[in-house]
A and B are shown apart, each in its own frame.
Chain A
Amino acid sequence: MKVVLRNPRREVEVAGNRRVKDVLRELDILPETVLVIRGDDLVTADQLVRDDDVIELRPVMSGGSEPRLSGTGHPRGEAASRSPLQTAPHASGTGHPRPDAAWRHSLR
């Protein structure tokens, strides 16, 4: 079956005829971080997907906040910009601590 991923948009082929949650596990995606879309419908993690299905895994995480510049009387905390789903091994290079694979698996 075909799985459409976003940010950037790409497609991967995985085995079908199993539950959505098994597909998510194979792709190392936390169920709560995506909408699972089939056609015009949302699909829950316990549903079966067939070999000829196409599903989109649309990330829901957005962000972009800021260390505050001092001296303004306005409260802080805007986050109106878009951002990627950060799931399985992701590019870093920003100096932020990222959970590594070992830690990820230890949470399961």
Chain B
Amino acid sequence: MKCRKCGAPAALELRRHNAAFCAPDFLEFFRNQVREAIRRHRMLTKDEPVLVAVSGGKDSLALWDVLLEDGYRTTGLYLDLGIFDYSVESRAKCEAFAASRGAPLVVRAVADEVGAPVPVIKEVTRRPPCSGCGLSKRYLMNRAALDLGIPVVATGHNLDDEAATLFGSVLHWQTDALARQSPALASTHAKLARRVKPLYRLSERETAAYAFLRKIDYIVEECPFARGATSIAHKEVLARLEDASPGARHNFVFGFLDRARAAFERAEGVTLNECARCGQVTTGTVCAFCKLADQVKRAAAR
């Protein structure tokens, strides 16, 4: 197999593009896809700072790497979930990456903010661990951006993540979620940072290949709670579809964005309030994060 651009032996085949690339040409392909995502959705400018949410995994560190290479004003945000050795190791990966690039990294611990780490939250709420974890991450990312005066948060969500989320939303016809699924979410309230996903055009395998070829030391081990997560089950189904029909995932996500998403956008948006307790944005009176923190506190008092 030969590189489509230069004819040298290929390092990676991209079946959905009916192409293969050598390592240098793949890296350029990858960067161009990120640039195209940013351009098409006006995600970022080089004049304003961007908060890059990093987990220590391949996607978020690959994203940070591309943004740094392209001259964006980035600050990393690592949220310490308190998930045993997994969190210790993933934090070390983020700190080592930031140090090697001379880039600022902010670390916040879920245990400090909620009152307990993710494993305890899981026990207290009796919900799947990803539930309280995802809620906490979304809240803390936004609050960190506000605290730091950074208008936009970039996450490492890739094409496979987007396809799995879309698949889950369609399975249950969660029309609210379908209306919100987008590579770029505008700020709809003074206290909501913009949210962008510059890797949405790239598959998980492509982000892994980029991280490997750039010699980024990322955490390969899984989160101990991810096994059995619904999103993983959806990803497995989609991986088999992709194997049988290369490009299936791409067409699913891009077809939705181009032709279907608008149909789910409601004429009138939801009313956004400020939480009576913490002042962050919520659709109710007290936000879900404060309710979660209360639940944790009550359990600790027992």
Contacts and interface: CB of A to CB of B under 8 A. Distances in A.
A20 B220 CA distance: 21
A82 interface: yes
Interface in B22-48: 23
Contact of A86 (B130, B134, B236, B292): B236
A69 B236 CA distance: 24
Contacts of B189: 73
Contacts of A61: 160, 204, 232, 235-236, 239
B59 A65 contact: no
A35 B228 contact: no
A64 B76 CA distance: 21
A47 B207 CA distance: 22
B164 A63 contact: yes
Contact of B212 (A35, A46, A59): A35
A8 B90 CA distance: 16
B180 A64 contact: no
Contact of A64 (B135, B229, B239): B229
Given A30-B240, A77-B157, A64 B209 contact: no
Interface in A32-74: 32-35, 37, 41-47, 58-74
B137 interface: yes
B55 A83 contact: no
Interface string A73-108: 111111111111010000111101111000010010
A71 B138 contact: no
Given A41-B11, A73-B282, A74-B138, 14 more contacts: A32-B15, A42-B212, A64-B134, A64-B226, A64-B229, A66-B229, A69-B127, A76-B165, A77-B157, A77-B180, A81-B223, A94-B228, A96-B230, A98-B233
Interface of B: 1, 10-13, 15, 20, 23, 53, 55, 57-60, 81, 86, 90, 127-135, 137-139, 142, 155-157, 160-161, 164-165, 168, 177, 180-181, 185, 189, 192, 195, 203-205, 207-209, 212-213, 219-223, 225-233, 235-237, 239-240, 242-244, 246, 270, 272-273, 281-284, 286-289, 291-292
The 5 closest A-B pairs by CB, nearest first: A83-B226, A94-B228, A65-B231, A66-B134, A81-B223
28 contacts: A32-B242, A32-B246, A35-B209, A42-B12, A58-B220, A59-B220, A60-B208, A62-B222, A63-B161, A63-B231, A64-B130, A64-B133, A64-B225, A66-B229, A67-B230, A71-B288, A72-B139, A73-B192, A73-B273, A73-B281, A74-B139, A75-B180, A78-B155, A82-B86, A82-B220, A83-B222, A83-B229, A96-B228
